Every structure is written in structure tokens, then in C-alpha cells.
Amino acid sequence: MVEQQLNEIIQKMTLNEKIGQLIQLATPFFKGASDKGEITGPMTGMGITDEISQNCGSVLGASGAREVMNIQKAHLEKNRFGIPLLMMADIVHGFKTIFPVPLAMGCSWDLDLAEKSAEIAAKEAAVSGVHVTFAPMVDIVRDPRWGRVMESTGEDPYLNSLFARAFVRGFQGTNLTDDQNRVAACVKHFAAYGAPEGGREYNTVNMSERQLRESYLPPYKAALDEGCEMVMTAFNTVDGIPATGNKKLMRDLLRDEWGFDGVMISDWGAVKELIPHGIAEDSSEAAVKALQAGVDIEMMTTCYVDNLKQLVENGTIEETLIDEAVLRILKLKQKLGLFENPYRGADEKREQEYILSEEHRKAAREAAAKSCVLLKNQSVLPLNRHQKIALIGPFAQNGDILGPWSWQGSYEEAVKMDEGIKMKIDPALLTVAKGCDIETGTENEMNMAINAASEADVIILALGESSAMSGEGGSRANICLPDIQLQLIAEVKKLKKPMAAVLFNGRPLDLHGVIDQADAVLEAWYPGTEGGAAIADLLFGDANPSGRLSMTFPYSVGQVPIYYNHFNTGRPKTSEEYVRYVTHYLDIPNEPLLPFGFGLSYTTFSYTDAMLSADTMNSEQPITLSVSITNTGNVAGEEVVQLYIRDVAGEIVRPVKELKAFKKIMLQPNETKEASFTITEEQLRYHHENLQFTSDAGTFIAFVGRNSQDVSALTFKLVN
Ligand code: NOJ
């Protein structure tokens, strides 16, 4: 079907039918649906009539081939033009085979792996009838109090942009029409949702346009450059105007400046939320503002269906605005091949074959192993397989390792930690005791754990946050482990035995009480379905940790927001000595506990001979930075070589360092490889006072090293 035919349909549609395309409702509102769909927001008092659900254009949260086909069939039986429903859902990091949460994937610094994970998620979702996933979430995150940091790949605009592209490639492939194992992607949350004040969910975002363009917008742009089909608005305000009613953001920037012509959907209820935000007095005004700003589909509230007809009739809204939105939606349906085959990939037989297949589980295990970050290791790991192990803690046998955005994942299918360990050793050598629950516990449980630990040669603590403690609506002001778990560590520590902690959590935590007590700490995040198996691979040395933090771990919550690419200030702290009038805290260091890019391995790497090919460059003549890396330990390992650059004096203050490139290299013991990076003028550009994206001639420092702090510095000049 060509655009002209779609336009012909639009011309024949009644105004109500057209407005219907602009609403999205959750599964339970549809005929043919079970009531099990994904419910991720408030749902009261919606007043959905049969006519509204019959005209509705898309469904939120339906999945399962049978159910989706039932819904589509019932819908088409009553649709005059045979316009199929779009089935959308949150397939964030896996469908039923759950991959590590995006923050963990970010720590893999492995783009192929990220692409593969999205491809597998798409395949499982597509056979289950899903057409569009609400992913990737690419918001820059600098405040670990915010529960949704686990949903982003981290704090860095460059790294997040690369991951945004990788995920979009994986979800969408190269031909959505013919490749029915793929789904359309919807990048979110436009814009700057990752910067709520105080880290409190849904809170105000206030930032300059330059900061928005410099740090927060690049990952969304990268997703769109990769061909991402849809964009979701954010819940927050941006410069005083809620994103969902923000014309400057959507019409001026997204559509006019960036040329985005795909479908824009509001987040759940965000159109109606223009009322409590305080830019609309009622649902009619909310509808006007959202549509005029550029929202095509209203998710889960009814401002459009309740008001647009009247607004067109009284001349407030031009009908062409509605027609344009409908056309964009129909074009997406057409691109997905739904007019020809409304059931698309949905297939009960293939569902059995693909979902949780051995191949998918294998990929999830590899991803989990590569996403874990070894934060400390004082000669405890890898473990010797012949010693007695006590596995202690609320995550010892817990399936809550999938993360808060895995609505189709099942705890039963998840490989728990004890199961993973039993794959590696004689089960008789393992004793398991919970010690406490995640937030509460009894003296008896604690005593049992101490008894178990006292019999063992080595103790593994399995600790963390429940998945409900992060994710949407999961902000925390205190980002330590719950007290009861800190108490458990302290009690077990008294036994003076070697002790390794494995952490399951959705945010960088304040690790006091953990990192100072345990001899080794492995950050496992929410590793997904194969979590226990992958962790056991790492604990016993069948895999070597290679993850590097893509988000800073603060020294304490008092430092947040904290991020490596900050400004220097006019009074930087340059020595350990106390000087009053410099930027510092009196009671804690300025430095984070663990910096961006940090992660240990079971081997060690040395960096030598860092050099530049020349000490000046210009836009025609880039320079090359090279460095030799040697594996100086006894086992093979993967290093992430990181290149940062600082513009020493710009028209605008520039960050102390910005990640510009990285390379993952595998090295056998004693092997040396050279990593080289080309530095181009383009990499030195930034947004100037007039928002032009250009570079300044002058001095720059290139830093190369194993993380954002441990680097060698080389100076060069950019000349005109
Ligand atoms: C609200 C969340 O903010 C968004 O990320 C999600 O896609 C929608 N709900 C739909 O579940």
C-alpha cells in the first residue's frame, strides 16, 4: 500500500475513527484479551466505552501469539477499513529470556552483544505478537537515587549513543517489512527524563539548552539516526514546560530540526498529567497542548478521544493536524506489513521453538558474565572448587534477579545463585543459608547463617536490593544496602574467613559496610535469566570479569549527582591538604568511591608507550594516539582501553574529561597489543554560546587508560 492509498483511507474515515487511531489502551480493554496484560501505570476512572476501544489504534502490553491473534481478529471483524491494531509493549532487556538490565549491559562496553540481546528480545517478542517495543531507554543518568538508572546504559553521552544505536539495530534489523522476527523500536523518554531533581521519580528537570544539547540529547538523536521508528515523551518538565506539551522540544527540535517523521507517543497518562503539572486547566486544554506540541498517540488517558472532535468542530484544532498524526501511524502499520498480514510474526509453534531456547539462554549467560563488574578482589576470587563454601544472604536462592522491567520473565526460569554454584562443585561442599530477607530478618535466621558460615572455608554473600527497590517509581534517598544486610555482613565478618560479596541491585550503591568488609565484591546488577550460571562462571574462573562501570559509584549519597565529565570550577581541589576555599566537602572526599570506567579482572594489564603521532592537528590532518597494553598476569583477560579528551580553554567551559573512544582487547598472559585511536577535529566540537557545534583552536589533553581516573595524559594543539 502506498502513501496515497493510506491518504484515501484517511479521507474516508470519520473524525471519531481518526481520533481513535490516536489513543492507546492497555490489553484488558480489548475483546479477545485475557486480563493479564502488562499494567505499568494508574488505570482508574478511564470511562472507556465499546466505541472507544473499537476505534482504538494500538494496544499496550498484549503478548502471546494466541491472545494477540484473538484481539486482532475481534478488532478487524468490526473495522470498516481493515486497519489493524499495533501491539506495543515494554521489551526492555529481553522478552522471556531476560538479559542483564541495560545499566549492566552498559558495563559490558560490548555493542555487538547489546545488538544481539535486542535481536533475541525482538525475535521472542515478535513470535508472541508484539510489533513495537518501548525501548531503548537512553536517558543520561547521573543520580543513583533515581530508580530508573538501571534502565539506561549509564551516564555518558557517547557510550549511551553507541548503545542506543546497537539496541535499535538489534530490535529493528534492516527491513521491518520483510523480517518478521524484528520489532519497531521506540526511543524514550524525550527528553532529559534522567535528570529529575533530587533523584525523585517524575520530578522537575531544569537545565540549560546547552546542557540538554551537549549531554542529554545525543543518545536520542543517535537512536533516530539509526532509523528508530518511534519516540516516547518524558513525564518531566523541560525548562518549565512538561515534555509532553513541549512544542519547542517536539515540533521545533525533533520534527523540524532533526527531521523525525515517525510516530510520537506520550508516556502513560502524560497527556492528562499536563493538568496537575499546571499548563492545562482541563482535559480539553491538555489535548490541545499535546497535539499541537506533536504527540500523535495518547497513552492510557482519554483527553484526545474525549475532546478532539469538539475542538475540531469549534475551530480550535485544525483537522489536518489529526490527519497528519493518523498518516504517521498508518505508515508505521504499513511498514510493519500489518495491512497484508495483521498477525505478522505471531505464531504459536515458533513461540515454543524460540522462547528460552538454548541459543537464547547461551547468549543471555554470556551477556550476564560480561556485564558483571569486579569491584574488589583481595586474593579470594576465583574460588577453589574443592573448598567448603557457605552461600549466605537473601539472594542465595532468589529468582528476583531479572530486574524491574522484565514483566514476561519468570523467577522459575531464572538460574539462581545456588543452582549456578552447584553446576561447578560437588554439591556436598555447599551450604546455603539466607541469613535475612532483603529488608527484614529474624535472630534465628541470622544465627543459622552464622553457623553455616562457621563450617565453611570461604563465604559468599549474595546481597542486594529487591527489584521493587528500583525501576519506575523506585527512587531511594538512602542508597546503602538495607540495614539488616549490613548487619549480616558485620556478623559474618566476625568469623574472620575469606568472604566475597555478590551484589544484585539496580543502581550504584553507597557501598560502605560492604566494600570495606568483604575481601572481594562482584557487582552483578540484575543479571537476568542466566544470572546464577554466569556468576558461577565468574566466581570459579571459567570466565574472567571484563565489565567496567558505565555509571559512577558515589562515595556517599551526599555527592550525587556525580559524574566523571564534570566541570573543573574556578577553585578546583588540587591537593590532599586541607585548604578552605576550594571546592570540597568537609566530611567526604570529592572523588567517587569508584569512577566511571572502573572494573577489575583476574589478570592485570600494564599500559606503556602512550604517544601521539604529532603534537598539532587540524581539521584535515587528524593525529593518532597509540598505547601498548600487556597482560601481566597469569590468565587471559579482556581490557577496555579508554580514550578521554579535555579542551583546556574553550569559549564555553569544557568538562575535565570526555570519553571519545574505547577498544576492548583480549590478551593472553604476557601478550602485548597496541591500541590506536584517531583523534579528529570533529571529536573536539561542542555547542558554543550561539549553540553552533564547532571546535576551538588551542590546547587539548588526551587521556588514555583503564578507567576515567587512572590515565596517562598527552597534550596536543588544534590549529586552524
Ligand atoms: C511508563 C514508563 O515511563 C515507560 O517507560 C513505559 O514504556 C510506559 N509506562 C509503558 O509501560
3-state secondary structure 220-257: HHHHHHCCCCEEEECCCEECCEEHHHCHHHHHHHHHHH
Q: Is the CB of residue 273 below 6 angstroms from any atom belonging to ligand 1?
A: no
Region 313-339 average pLDDT: 98
pLDDT in tens, 372-401: 999 999 999 999 999 999 999 999 999 999
Of 143, 267, 306, 347, the active-site residue reads 267
CA 40 to ligand 1 center in whole angstroms: 6
How do 616-617 and 623-631 pair as beta strands? unpaired
pLDDT band at 2 (very low <50, low <70, confident <90, very high): confident
| Whole-number Å distance between alpha carbons of 557 and 501 | 21
- Supply 46's cell numbers: 478511564
Q: Are 522 and 547 in contact (CB under 8 A)?
A: no
pLDDT band at 35 (very low <50, low <70, confident <90, very high): low
pLDDT in tens, 517-565: 999 999 999 999 999 999 999 999 999 999 999 999 999 999 999 999 9
CA 281 to ligand 1 center in whole angstroms: 24
Residue environment code for 80-111, b if the CB has 16+ CB neighbours within 10 A, otherwise e = eeebbbbbbbbbbbbbbbbbbbbbbbbbbbbb
Query: How much is the pLDDT for 44?
Result: 73
pLDDT in tens, 431-478: 999 999 999 999 999 999 999 999 999 999 999 999 999 999 999 999
Q: What angle do CA 417, 412, 385 make, to 5 degrees?
A: 20
- Supply 288's cell numbers: 490541545
Domain boundaries, the chain: 360-548, 605-718
Q: Are 555 and 593 in contact (CB under 8 A)?
A: yes
In CATH, what is the architecture of 360-548?
Answer: 3-Layer(aba) Sandwich (3.40)
Q: Is the CB of residue 267 below 6 angstroms from any atom belonging to ligand 1?
A: yes
Share of the chain above pLDDT 70, in %: 100
pLDDT in tens, 481-514: 999 999 999 999 999 999 999 999 999 999 999 9
Region 4-31 average pLDDT: 96
With a cut of 80, say whether residue 45 has pLDDT above it.
Answer: no
pLDDT in tens, 195-219: 999 999 999 999 999 999 999 999 9
**Alpha carbon 28 to chain centroid distance?**
28
In CATH, what is the architecture of 605-718?
Answer: Sandwich (2.60)
With a cut of 90, say whether residue 32 has pLDDT above it.
Answer: no
With a cut of 80, say whether residue 228 has pLDDT above it.
Answer: yes
Q: Is the CB of residue 40 below 6 angstroms from any atom belonging to ligand 1?
A: yes
| Whole-number Å distance between alpha carbons of 135 and 302 | 24
Query: How much is the pLDDT for 38?
Result: 74
pTM of this structure: 0.98
With a cut of 70, say whether residue 675 has pLDDT above it.
Answer: yes
CA 330 to ligand 1 center in whole angstroms: 22
| Whole-number Å distance between alpha carbons of 203 and 223 | 25
Task: List the residue whose alpha carbon is closest to atom 1 of ligand 1.
Answer: 268
pLDDT band at 23 (very low <50, low <70, confident <90, very high): very high
With a cut of 80, say whether residue 1 has pLDDT above it.
Answer: no
Q: Is the CB of residue 188 below 6 angstroms from any atom belonging to ligand 1?
A: yes
pLDDT in tens, 248-275: 999 999 999 999 999 999 999 999 999 9
- Residues contacting residue 128 through CB under 8 Å, at least 6 positions apart: 63, 64, 65, 68, 95, 346, 351, 355
Q: Are 640 and 627 in contact (CB under 8 A)?
A: no
The neighbouring-strand residues paired with 463 are 503
CA 416 to ligand 1 center in whole angstroms: 28
Do domains 360-548 and 605-718 share one topology? The answer is no
Residue 559 main-chain phi, psi, to 5 deg: -85, -15
- Residues contacting residue 450 through CB under 8 Å, at least 6 positions apart: 491, 492, 495
CA neighbor of 100 nearest in space, from 365, 481, 474, 416: 365
Q: Is the CB of residue 41 below 6 angstroms from any atom belonging to ligand 1?
A: yes
DSSP 215: I
- Residues contacting residue 658 through CB under 8 Å, at least 6 positions apart: 158, 565, 644, 645, 646
Q: Is the CB of residue 565 below 6 angstroms from any atom belonging to ligand 1?
A: no
In whole numbers, what is the pLDDT of the chain averaged over residues? Answer: 97
CA neighbor of 263 nearest in space, from 232, 236, 286, 284: 232
Query: Which numbered atom of ligand 1 lies nearest the CA of 61?
Result: 11
With a cut of 70, say whether residue 119 has pLDDT above it.
Answer: yes
pLDDT band at 46 (very low <50, low <70, confident <90, very high): confident
Task: List the residue whose alpha carbon is closest to atom 7 of ligand 1.
Answer: 134
595: preceding bond cis by omega (within 30 degrees): no
Query: How much is the pLDDT for 383?
Result: 98
| Whole-number Å distance between alpha carbons of 701 and 715 | 4
Query: How much is the pLDDT for 43?
Result: 75
H/E run at residue 370: helix 358-371
- Supply 84's cell numbers: 489493524
| Ordered alpha helix ranges (H), 528-667 | 531-539
pLDDT band at 694 (very low <50, low <70, confident <90, very high): very high
Region 419-423 average pLDDT: 98
- Ligand 1 pocket test: which of 27, 59, 63, 90 has the largest number of ligand atoms within 8 Å of its C-beta? 90
Region 2-28 average pLDDT: 96
DSSP 719: -
pLDDT in tens, 557-572: 999 999 999 999 999 9
Q: DSSP labels for 280-318?
A: -SSHHHHHHHHHHHT--BEES--HHHHHHHHHHHTTSS-
Instruction: Answer left, alpha or beta for residue 273, where phi above 0 means left and psi between -120 and 50 means alpha.
Output: alpha
| Whole-number Å distance between alpha carbons of 494 and 481 | 19
How many other CB atoms are found less than 10 A from the CB of residue 345?
A: 26
| Whole-number Å distance between alpha carbons of 366 and 707 | 23
- For residue 267, indicate whether it is catalytic: yes
pLDDT band at 41 (very low <50, low <70, confident <90, very high): confident
> Does residue 486 sit in helix, strand or coil?
helix
- Ligand 1 pocket test: which of 232, 236, 265 has the largest number of ligand atoms within 8 Å of its C-beta? 232
